A and B are shown apart, each in its own frame.
Chain A
Amino acid sequence: MTGRGMGRGTTRLVVEIRRKAFGDHLVLRDLDFIVEAGETLAVLGPSGSGKSTLLRIVAGLDRDFEGRIGAPAEIAMVFQEPTLLPWRTALQNLTLTTGVDAGRAASMLAEVGLAGREERFPRQLSLGQQRRLALARAMVTRPRLLLLDEPFVSLDAPLVEEMLHLTERLIAEVRPASLFVTHAPAEARRLATRTLRLDQPHALE
């Protein structure tokens, strides 16, 4: 059974994955959890443990699994890389991707410290600014479900701290149900209300 329920009214994420395999290789099995609005569930585990697969299933990018996902329709995601449109300006990266108007996009840019950089192309921004732009894109619609796919990997320590602080603040403001995939327990402790380890047989702490 494979299913995906999405609704405007839903505010929580319900995951019931019976089985997910790539060919003969079993990646996820019997994974059940619920993330309520305002909660952040950190998903920890070494590479290959199925963290990214779980995120792709929840995001609706992978529908080839056995189980059921119940998720709000308003989803946003922060990827490992900024994943911006390099040929569109910072402002357009918000308006064209999410459909918000220019005014709202500009005030969101200001909120992440990018005021005055609306007309810059992504490659004219520093790496830290690109990350903040990607975060702004995710939060500008005030999503009910926020997916974070190792968003701080490959950043140096001060930048991680800056991004953690900003993410923390925006999550507290918007209060989405959040799924935070990471391999860094320290980041998980900082952002998450609960932790799920995928290396052990799916122990919820």
Chain B
Amino acid sequence: MGLAALRGEPRILPGPMDVLPRLGHELASGELLFHVGATLGRVVAAFVLAMSIGTALGLLMGRHAGVDRWVDPWLVVFLNLPALVVIVLCYLWIGLSEAAAVAAVAINKIPMVTAMLREGARALDPSLDAMARVFRMGRLARLRHVVIPQLAPHLASTARSGLALIWKIVLVVEFLGRSSGVGFKIHLYFQLFDVRMVLTYALAFVIVMLAIETLLMQPVERRARAWRDA
């Protein structure tokens, strides 16, 4: 690769001056926005699904030893199931559909969220729990004001690592069975041996994910941490 760059072979390793104009062109044609949008939609759907199911399951397992005993062996199985197996099985069982794609990604991430939130639930302060019960706080109020703030550090790190993992898996899912999205485009240009376009689409999506990290994830985390820094 390094040699290719040194020898100036843009077919194998195109330089920024090759990639950036393509990025501009794809952006102007609307093609880039359409496919990045499709991928982003799947990332968001899978992320929301994985975070909510994983958090609920992790809380249940962390707070009820009985549930933990029953679900734990399954958690270990799913934690060790290769992403590719889940994707292929989802496509085979559900069909080559949007639902299958999102489900496949979510299933890949749920066990990790569950395992991390279970640790968080185990570390919940029992004295705050007792206080909330004595003062008859409602279930929802307890969750929102007592439980979630204690889980915030776990939620933040899970969300971060989750987003990074999810978008990579979404690309694989699109590569294998979708006709839109960045993964689909990469598949297409892979077959055409067009490294420049593969890099163009990859770069575009990395930029989007970086923007989400800086403009969304970090401010949310800062807000949740405000009471510590006050």
Interface of chain A residues 82 through 104 with chain B (CB within 8 A): 83, 85-88, 92, 96-98
Enumerate chain A residues within 8 angstroms of B128, measured Cβ to Cβ: 83, 85
Interface residues on A, range: 20 to 34
Contact partner of A97 (CB less than 8 A), chosen from B127, B131, B152, is B131
Contact partner of B134 (CB less than 8 A), chosen from A77, A81, A85, A96, is A77
Q: Are A59 and B227 in contact (CB under 8 A)?
A: no
Enumerate chain A residues within 8 angstroms of B132, measured Cβ to Cβ: 97
Q: Does A61 contact B (CB under 8 A)?
A: yes
Enumerate chain B residues within 8 angstroms of A92, measured Cβ to Cβ: 145
Interface of chain A residues 68 through 86 with chain B (CB within 8 A): 75-77, 79, 81, 83, 85-86
Shortest Cβ gap from B144 to chain A (Å):
9
Interface of chain B residues 140 through 158 with chain A (CB within 8 A): 141, 145-146, 149, 152
A147 CA to B152 CA in the complex, in Å?
31
Specify the chain B residue showing the minimal Cβ separation from A73: B136
Q: Does B64 contact A (CB under 8 A)?
A: no
The size of the chain B interface, using a CB distance under 8 A, is 17
Contact partner of A76 (CB less than 8 A), chosen from B135, B137, B149, B230, is B135
What are 26 A-B contacts with C-beta separation under 8 Å? A56-B130, A59-B130, A59-B133, A59-B134, A60-B134, A61-B130, A61-B134, A75-B134, A76-B134, A79-B130, A79-B131, A81-B127, A83-B127, A83-B128, A85-B146, A86-B227, A87-B227, A88-B149, A96-B137, A96-B145, A97-B135, A97-B137, A97-B145, A121-B230, A123-B230, A124-B230
